[in-house]
Chain A
Amino acid sequence: MKRPSLGSLLLALIPFIAMCFSVSLWDRIYPMVLGIPFNFFWLILWTLLIPPCLWGAYRLERRSASHPRGPRREGATR
């Protein structure tokens, strides 16, 4: 199995931090944005930001797939 690259994993971690772990920072009503309570606005915003994050990860994965750094070492997936 090919492990994902560190860069793409970090890109994937960003939405988890923003939408999940940081909940106590953004779970509030004010400031309301576009008439929507802040917590809802925040989650909607990040739903829109996930595709760019994954697009970045996709580019990184493609690059590492097309430039393999030599034959993979035995135990590299360990």
Chain B
Amino acid sequence: MTPSGLALTLIFTIIAAGSFIGFFAGSRYKMDLEQWTVAARGFGLLLVWLLMAGEIYTTFTFLGASGWAYSRGGPALYILAYLPLGYVIWFFIAPEIWEVGRKHGLQTQADFFRVRYSSEFLAAFVALVGVVFLIPYLQLQLTGLGIIVEISSSGGIGRTPAMLISFVLVAAFVLTSGMRGIAWVSVLKDGLLLFAAVFVGFAIPHIFFGGIGPMFLALVRAKPAHLVMPGATTNLGHKWYVSTVLLTAFGAGGMWPHNFAATFSAKSSDTLRRNAIALPLYSITMPLMLFIGFAAVLILPGLTNGDLSMLMIVRKAFPPWFLGVIGGAGALTAMVPASIQILTAATLFAKNLYRPVFSPRMTDEQVGKLAKAMVIVITSLALFCAIHSFATLVSLLLLGYAGVTQFFPGVVLGLYWKRATMFGVFTGLVTGIALVAFLILSHHDPLMGINAGFIALCANLAVTIATSFLTPCHPNSFDPSDSPLPS
């Protein structure tokens, strides 16, 4: 067998093993909408952990982090800070969201807005924004899968056919397994990812430099400026760091539509709290990914696309079968989050956008069927974007975060501030999204050294609060103190 044939065979074996686990775990349950989307709210400590880790550690972790360490240097430090800080936010809001979810039978993020602000219209808008900003995240996963197959086949399979293959795999996987299956595949995925990160992260500096310390000494001698901000960039300094960490930590603290699904799938709010305490430890593998990117700066200078650095260096240092194992781990790391994202986007579209607007009399069963059909549509859309774009993995992630973090005022004020109104949240959200779109499309990101998404978030928050004060507020069903107090 040729080296690339061996690598590809191993990758597809690992994907097949993952798909089998997902299919098997899901097949024992009747796949109604509640089971497919939130696993019937039955997940304990372990499964919530797997699902949360499964959706947070994506191809971005695997290829994008090392890619930015390679191409940008110091600014990649933000990657070490935002996830642990995101869990700090999640620790506080997830149990509250869960309580509301259980009380009102919520399945999606848009459901949360519908109930809190008594507005189908706002819910439909939130669903639309959620789906739109899930697309770049999904595009990131497909691009990552494409890179993995392309490099493992030594260019034998081009990027576009590779992404087409990935598309078929992911769509088939989502349709068969649902949320429960996806959580179980995370066992294999996280095991392989941890192994890959720890082994490669220590081995690469060791093979080429004799250890992590000597590697950094060599880097300090050759390119000291690469290790601190702004690194290889001119405009990603400390102001950018603070604004980006805040933006992405607020976003990672539960603003993605699929975070809501994971939250609702938990058995109790205590499960969520204890998970939030332990999950930061899991991101301890992140620095190792950055170290691989730094090693590549000295070993493989001149790559046009930094996102390739991790796999290129593995291909250079290890035999083909090992590239296959790492590639397989990377493939699952793309497929698991991609599946969660597709499932969430499809459900949002069918339940919160299509049903209220076009066909209010649809049953849950019909919504489930439409959601499954939407899996194909949404995956195709992301595939189209992936084929026609050359954005780096990190820039795709930051685009998604700039969008979904605009939900932050609506969610957090909705939970803790009774005065927040539907109009306030809607005008704030529109302001935030419009500003993000304008600043990013007109290439004003960062603006004066500050992350454009963060600027939009501040404007969003100000408008939300101001408009809320100007519009009448209605009692909402969230607060237990609205019901008569027991005397």
- By a beta-carbon cutoff of 8 Å, the part of chain A in contact with chain B is 1-4, 8, 12, 15-16, 19-21, 23-24, 27-29, 32, 34-37, 39-40, 43-44, 46-48, 50-51, 53-55, 57-58, 61, 71-72, 74, 76-78
Residues of B within 8 A of A4 (CB): 92
- Chain A residues near B214: list those with CB within 8 A: 35
Residues of B within 8 A of A76 (CB): 481
Looking at chain B's contact residues, is the secondary structure mostly helix, strand, loop, or mixed?
helix
CB neighbours (8 Å) of A35 from chain B are: 211-214, 216-217
Residue of A nearest to B211 (CB): A35
Q: Which residues on A sit within 8 Å (CB–CB) of B220?
A: 29, 32, 37
Known contacts A20-B242, A34-B213, A35-B211; A47 and B415 CB within 8 A of each other: no
Write the nearest CB–CB distance from B75 to chain A, whole angstroms.
10
Is A1's CB under 8 angstroms from B479's CB?
A: yes
Whether a CB of chain A sits under 8 angstroms from the CB of B267 is no
CA distance A55 to B447 in the complex (A): 37
At the interface, is chain A mostly helix, strand, loop or mixed?
helix
Segment of B33-41, B147-155, B193-201, B271-279 engaged in the interface with chain A = B271-279
Residues of B within 8 A of A3 (CB): 416
Whole-angstrom distance between the Cβ of B451 and the nearest chain A Cβ: 12
A37 vs B76: C-alpha distance when bound (angstroms): 14
The stretch of B19-27, B107-115, B222-230, B355-363 that contacts the partner chain? B222-230
Pair B88/A16 contact, Cβ less than 8 Å: yes
Q: Are A44 and B277 in contact (CB under 8 A)?
A: no
Chain A residues positioned under 8 Å from B213 (CB to CB): 32, 34-36
Q: How far is A70 from B421 in the complex, measured between Cα atoms in Å?
A: 29
**Do B81 and A44 touch (CB < 8 A)?**
no
Contact B88 A44 (CB under 8 A): no
Contacting residues, chain B, for A1 (C-beta < 8 A): 96, 415-416, 478-479
Which of A29, A54, A58 is the one whose CB lies under 8 Å from B87? A54
Contacts of B315 in A (CB 8 A): none
Nearest Cβ on chain A to B132's Cβ, whole angstroms: 28
Nearest B-chain residue to A35, judged by Cβ: B213
* Contact present for A27 and B80 (CB under 8 Å): no
Partner of A54, one of B217, B249, B277, B417: B277
Binds A, one of B283-291, B400-408, B460-468: B283-291
Residues of A with C-beta under 8 A to B217: 35
A74: chain B residues at CB < 8 Å are 481
Q: In angstroms, how far is the closest chain A Cβ from the Cβ of B32?
A: 30
Q: Chain A contacts of B481 at CB under 8 A?
A: 72, 74, 76-77
Q: Would A51 and B212 be within 8 Å (CB), given that A43-B80, A46-B84 are in contact?
A: no
Distance in Å: Cβ of A77 to nearest Cβ of chain B: 6
Interface residues of B in 278-313 (CB under 8 A from A): 278, 280-281, 283-284, 286-287, 290
Known: A35-B211, A35-B212. Contact between A40 and B485, CB under 8 A? Answer: no
Which residues in A have their C-beta under 8 angstroms from that of B238?
23-24, 27
Could you show 21 A-B contacts with beta carbons less than 8 Å apart? A8-B92, A15-B85, A19-B245, A23-B242, A24-B238, A27-B74, A27-B228, A27-B229, A29-B220, A29-B228, A34-B213, A36-B212, A37-B220, A37-B227, A43-B77, A46-B81, A46-B84, A50-B84, A50-B280, A54-B87, A77-B417
